[in-house]
A = this chain, B = another copy of it.
Amino acid sequence: MGRQSDARERLVQAAVQLIYARSYSAVGVQEICARAGVQKGSFYHFFPSKRDLTIAALDELWRGLQERVVGPAFARDVPPLARIERFFDQSARVQREFMEQSGQVLGCPLGNLALEMSTQDPLLRARIEALFQAAEQQIAQTLEEARQDGSAPDIDPAGAARALFAYMEGVLLMAKTRNDPECIRELGRNALALVCGSTQAGARIVTQE
């Protein structure tokens, strides 16, 4: 078996699944190798360290997220603001599936790793931050579309996207903590309030008091 093999891919996939289901530190190299059907020595042929595998897994995580959740939710077959709402429904659906399979809501794989690793590994942190920025830009684009077609004329797309993304992460954190996928749906109903009530609105309410 000289040239090429899919062992590397299998390792990344195994890492994605195991780390998402548990966490970085709760999953050992041994276990990742076992699930991938790869010997431990081979692991270190493909990756210099567990951390490097995790970085590779991060990109694969992002790819899978786009394919299975973000892509379907943000498809252009409905008006922009409806896509935002659909993201929450889509997320609720996915998490409900995890719930039925393993009895646990797993939340956002990037958010999970972000909180676990940000204070421990600067490179990992920076990588996740970059992916977060990409996500925000995706949302900002959608909001810009909504601004232009008149469904949300007065918003600041970039600022609202930041707030909205933070809210999404918060909602998924709550769902994981409550172990209840339904609260994603419920909390999702408040999402558009965050978009349309822009900065000025917030300030107005306070000074009025």
Contacts and interface: CB of A to CB of B under 8 A. Distances in A.
Which of A177, A198, A202 has most chain B Cβ within 10 Å? Answer: A177
Interface residues of A, number: 64
Interface of A: prevailing SS: helix
Nearest to A174: B166
Oligomer: number of copies:
2
Interface string A160-199: 1011011111110110111100010011011111101111
Contacts of A152: 205
Given A162-B183, A170-B173, A190-B197, 10 more contacts: A25-B25, A82-B209, A85-B206, A128-B177, A151-B209, A152-B205, A167-B194, A190-B199, A193-B193, A193-B194
26 contacts: A23-B116, A25-B25, A25-B26, A26-B120, A81-B205, A85-B206, A107-B115, A107-B118, A115-B177, A118-B176, A151-B209, A159-B186, A162-B183, A162-B186, A163-B187, A165-B170, A165-B174, A167-B167, A170-B170, A190-B197, A192-B197, A192-B205, A193-B196, A194-B194, A194-B197, A196-B197
